[in-house]
Amino acid sequence: MTLKLAQRSRIAPFIVMDVLRAANERAAAGGDVLHLEVGQPSTPAPKGVLAAARRALDSEVLGYTETLGLPALRQAIAKDYARSDGVALDPARVVVTTGSSAAFVLAFLAAFDPGDRVALAAPGYPAYRNILQALGLVPVELPTGPNERYQPTIELLHKHAQGIEGLIVASPANPTGTMLPPQELAALTRHCEAAGIRLVSDEIYHGITYGTVARTALVSSNSAIVVNSFSKYFSMTGWRIGWMVVPEDMLRAVECLAQNLFIAPPSLSQHAALAAFDCRAELDANVARYAVNRALLLEELPKAGIERFAPVDGAFYLYADVAHITNDSRELCRRWLSEIGVACTPGVDFDQRRGSATVRLCFAGSTATIAEAARRLRAWRR
Ligand SMILES: Cc1ncc(COP(=O)(O)O)c(C=O)c1O
């Protein structure tokens, strides 16, 4: 007898992880692969973090911590908002999580009920949509384009998202790298507060911007949920450690959910992350390399016939229009991997309806890797 599979489990794959598996299979079979698919730094955690992890291994029990995280880490995170944004944040509002991924689960469970509608930009990070669906919530996609820098606007909300309970924004965004100018973020925040819409601000790419600075939504809102992570700027994806800042009246609910769902975030990663805020020189050098890689791709890809991109204000992605090459971005990415060993992510991961004519290239690798990928793409087009 075939037993049932829950309806809620029928969510779309996170296609980039499927591409990663295919790329790893090719590498295991002896093929070479240039990884421009997964959105992660190609560097290890900074040296200070590694040293702190070694010390913790030698001296700490590494049992469960308090559910909301090590008090010293919550304080360090809160203190950094004073440095970066001039915000005096009560450390009690900081919740350390198992990557920002766990923060989304906690935030959505704490803020929304089954059936609630939550708006988000398309293209956008696929896990927002897929986590919402798995939790019985209804993602409401805002079809964004170059006119609104691929970001939500109040007009789009009026047009496509009546009756929503929540709005997710990300600035810089994945897959486009575009940002909301501060006045537009503030306008969206005001709109959400006036309309009783819970704003969830994903700030995971803060610290990785080019010629501009990303400001936290905490500057303009006390009711927003702010999500962040040690994965990207801090170069610690595999450590699975992130955080969120929640409104005071949501704190206990989030704590009870986290106690039951996760008990506590990983202890070793928390001890290590304590050192992360003192590693800025090394981390800023990573960002300087991303800037070089970004400039290189913007210069070289047009020579490969790929010349229309979302404006890359931040993060480490180029979201490229390939409509003149294909109307099947999955097939194009499959061909690039098998024919020239360049792994990229098809746009359908980020925009199910319109992503068949776009691809995302991650330029967080070494400059040599990015230059070689550009060279192969040029040769492939000839
Ligand atoms: C926009 C965005 N948010 C959240 C995440 C999840 O990050 P993590 O769970 O490693 O903190 C990612 C990962 O790529 C992302 O791009």
| 34-35 and 342-343 strand pairing | parallel
Asked if 349 and 379 count as a contact pair (C-beta separation under 8 A), the reply is no
Q: What is the DSSP letter of 209?
A: B
Q: Atom 14, ligand 1: which residue's CA is nearest?
A: 39
Query: What distance in angstroms lies between residue 126's CA and the mean position of ligand 1's atoms?
Result: 10
* Nearest atom, ligand 1, residue 174 CA: 1
- The dihedrals phi and psi of 39, each to the nearest 5 degrees, come to -85, 80
Q: 44 in helix, strand or coil?
A: coil
Query: What distance in angstroms lies between residue 100's CA and the mean position of ligand 1's atoms?
Result: 6
Asked if 167 and 197 count as a contact pair (C-beta separation under 8 A), the reply is yes
* Nearest atom, ligand 1, residue 240 CA: 10
195-252 confidence digits (pLDDT tens): 999 999 999 999 999 999 999 999 999 899 999 999 999 999 999 999 999 999 999 9
Asked if 178 and 310 count as a contact pair (C-beta separation under 8 A), the reply is yes
Query: What distance in angstroms lies between residue 58's CA and the mean position of ligand 1's atoms?
Result: 30
- Lining residues, ligand 1, CB within 6 Å: 39, 99-101, 125, 170, 174, 202, 204, 229, 231, 237, 242
* pLDDT in the model for residue 20: 86
Nearby residues of 27 by Cβ (< 8 Å), 6 or more positions away:
33
Q: Atom 16, ligand 1: which residue's CA is nearest?
A: 174
Asked if 364 and 42 count as a contact pair (C-beta separation under 8 A), the reply is yes
* Nearest atom, ligand 1, residue 101 CA: 9
Q: Atom 4, ligand 1: which residue's CA is nearest?
A: 100
| 166-170 and 198-202 strand pairing | parallel
Q: 165 in helix, strand or coil?
A: coil
Q: Atom 7, ligand 1: which residue's CA is nearest?
A: 100
The 10 Å Cβ neighbour count of residue 57 is 12
DSSP of 218-273, one letter per residue?
GGT-SS-EEEEESSTTTT-GGG--EEEE--GGGHHHHHHHHHHHTSS--HHHHHHH
- The dihedrals phi and psi of 61, each to the nearest 5 degrees, come to -70, -30
Distance (Å) of CA 371 to CA 99, 184, 301, 378: 31, 35, 10, 11
* pTM greater than 0.75: yes
Per-residue pLDDT of the chain (382 residues; tens, 9 = 90+): 899 999 999 988 888 888 888 889 988 988 899 999 989 999 999 999 999 999 999 999 999 999 999 999 999 999 999 999 999 999 999 999 999 999 999 999 999 999 999 999 999 999 999 999 999 999 999 999 999 999 999 999 999 999 999 999 999 999 999 999 999 999 999 999 999 999 999 999 999 999 999 999 999 998 999 999 999 999 999 999 999 999 999 999 999 999 999 999 999 999 999 999 999 999 999 999 999 999 999 999 999 999 999 999 999 999 999 999 999 999 999 999 999 999 999 999 999 999 999 999 999 999 999 999 999 999 998 6
Q: Which of 95, 231, 241, 243 to mutate to test the pocket of ligand 1 (most atoms within 8 A of CB)?
A: 231
Per the rule left: phi > 0, alpha: psi between -120 and 50, beta: everything else, 319 is beta
Query: What distance in angstroms lies between residue 240's CA and the mean position of ligand 1's atoms?
Result: 10
* Nearest atom, ligand 1, residue 315 CA: 16
Instruction: List residues bridging with 343 in a β-sheet.
Output: 35
Asked if 127 and 101 count as a contact pair (C-beta separation under 8 A), the reply is yes
* pLDDT in the model for residue 27: 87
Query: What distance in angstroms lies between residue 101's CA and the mean position of ligand 1's atoms?
Result: 6
Q: Which of 311, 15, 309 lies closest to 151 in space, CA to CA? A: 311
